[in-house]
Amino acid sequence: MEEATALKNQGNDAFKNKDWPKAIDLYSQAIDKYDKEPSFYTNRAQAHIRLEAYGYAVADATKAIELNPDFVKAYYRRAVANTAILRHSDAIHDWKIVVKKQPSDKVARAQHDACQKVIKRDAFLKAIEAPDAPSAAEGLDLANMAIPSDYDGVKLGDEMTLEFVEDLIERFKNGKKLPLKYVYQIVLAVKDICYNEPTMVETHVDQGKKITVCGDTHGQYFDLMEIFRMNGRPSADHAYLFNGDFVDRGSWSCEIALLLYAYKWLYPKSMFLNRGNHETDDMNRMYGFEGECKAKYNDRTFKLFSESFSALPLATLIGDKYFVLHGGLFSDDNITLDDVRKLNRHNQKQPGQSGLMMEMLWTDPQTAPGRGPSKRGVGLQFGPDVTKRFCEKNGLEAIIRSHEVRMDGYEEEHDSKCITIFSAPNYCDSTGNRGAFINIEDDYKLQFKQFDAVKHPDIKPMAYASSPMMGMM
């Protein structure tokens, strides 16, 4: 117990220094020395929460509760983790216990009340859900929508222009918004463009040109500007692929989504957008994008974005060599690129809890061979043998995916056949990671570029999230 406690204390120091993987390793060593102390598990659960390994956090908190059914912190951790993966009915069970055991805890009471509201809201939305509901664009008369007299930006006609995009970049840097008419025009134009693209877009890099692959940007607009400053802006000769999770968490999600969409409209053949697990309704309601749309524009804006997210492709194949998708590989070795090509994503607007779309948006690599349960509590994990077989069967050099923080901004795993790229440095203003992107020229060699977070206006991440807990995680 004495040796274990010393390791736990070292883990606490690593946690304070935001070195979550080291903290987890030290807490795990403490548990190996002495596995009957519940606080070792709740501390490790908190570190897992910081790394968004919510499934592991639930398992650790449950073990702590088994060791001590009166340990309030364990119920607290489990409730937080279940809230994060949208298991609100499980979370409310634990919030009730916390509130009962600690009636003076105002934060727990606020979480309990927020969770109750979400459960009621979700039940209401499910009750009124109609499979053939009309588009949010129905009834819009864009031609006769007025532009406010105080709008001082470039005018937008029936086609996107480079002048408008460049003005938009500066406008957003200065905290200005777009007229609603222009917001609607941009989202609807890109929805139509993306809807008509295949589920897996296939592209090549011509001589003298290049494509840049970016991972999650998560509403960190000023860090996106740093990518463009370092690497150049999108153009007909310099393609960009943004591999999902443009929105949520960061508090400039509207700005990123609108700018990427404006570029997509301007350069439909050299701006590529893959859907991520955060381009989905349930995540947007919890992690801030819905609230941000309503705060900066209106509810219709969110609904139009939601429809456009459902139109986004799920993957991009670069030069027949690199399969790029947000999450990762599949639960079945028999799935091939042809199955992705044939997938009709328009039949399923939201990814659900199973199936190819869910796996493409949610899965993660693991070091052990085979497949395992998801550390997130959603989807699954796949090992190096799974990646090797998929690449060999499909003639690929590697898969490129995002979906997870990497402290260096990127990581080559599974004998360099599984590459994770993450482009939100100092994620949520708290993680301390670098960001990265990949340049691919006509020789198809991967060039990794790292960058650090830049200063941004004093608006905290999760400023528009629906739950107060989300801003604390």
Where residue 411 falls (left for φ over 0; alpha for ψ -120 to 50; beta otherwise) is beta
Cα angle value 397/208/164 (rounded, 5°): 105
What confidence category does residue 5 fall into, taking pLDDT thresholds of 50, 70 and 90? very high
Tens of pLDDT along 203-212? Answer: 999 999 999 9
Is the pLDDT confidence value at 350 over 50? yes
Do 90 and 82 meet the contact criterion of CB atoms below 8 Å apart? yes
Mean pLDDT of 230-234: 98
What confidence category does residue 468 fall into, taking pLDDT thresholds of 50, 70 and 90? low
Distance CA 6, CA 301 (A): 53
Is the pLDDT confidence value at 94 over 90? yes
The per-residue b/e assignment along 87-99, b for 16 or more CB within 10 angstroms, e otherwise, is bbebbbebbbbbb
Is the pLDDT confidence value at 464 over 90? yes
Selected catalytic residue, list 48, 112, 218, 278: 278
- Active site annotation includes 278: yes
Selection from 31, 60, 296, 26 nearest residue 172 by Cα: 296
Cα dist. 433→423, 426, 472 in Å?
10, 5, 18
Mean pLDDT of 106-132: 85
Would you state the torsion angle of the CA atoms of residues 26, 27, 28, 34, taken in this order, to the nearest 10 degrees? Answer: 110
Q: Does domain 2-128 have CATH number 1.25.40.10?
A: yes
| DSSP state letters, 83-132 | HHTT-HHHHHHHHHHHHHH-TT-HHHHHHHHHHHHHHHHHHHHHHH--TT
What confidence category does residue 132 fall into, taking pLDDT thresholds of 50, 70 and 90? confident
Q: In this predicted structure, which of 197-201, 296-300, 461-465 has the lowest mean pLDDT?
A: 461-465
Angle between helices 72-84 and 106-128 (to 10 degrees): 30
pTM of the predicted model as reported, rounded to 2 decimal places: 0.93
What confidence category does residue 467 fall into, taking pLDDT thresholds of 50, 70 and 90? low
Is the pLDDT confidence value at 101 over 70? yes
How, if at all, do strands 322-325 and 315-318 pair?
antiparallel
Each domain of the chain, given as residue ranges in start order, spans 2-128, 142-472
Mean pLDDT of 60-83: 97
pLDDT score of 124: 84
What confidence category does residue 470 fall into, taking pLDDT thresholds of 50, 70 and 90? low
211 CB neighbour count, 10 Å cutoff: 25
Domain 2-128 identical in fold to domain 142-472: no
Beta carbons within 8 Å of 230's beta carbon, 6+ residues apart: 449, 451
Of 424 and 114, which is predicted with more confidence? 424
Do 37 and 60 meet the contact criterion of CB atoms below 8 Å apart? no
H-helix or E-strand containing 173?
Answer: helix 162-173
What confidence category does residue 473 fall into, taking pLDDT thresholds of 50, 70 and 90? very low
Q: Collapsing DSSP states into helix, strand and coil, what is residue 215?
A: coil
Share of the chain above pLDDT 90, in %: 90
Q: Does domain 142-472 have CATH number 3.60.21.10?
A: yes
pLDDT score of 404: 95
Distance CA 453, CA 218 (A): 13
pLDDT score of 472: 46
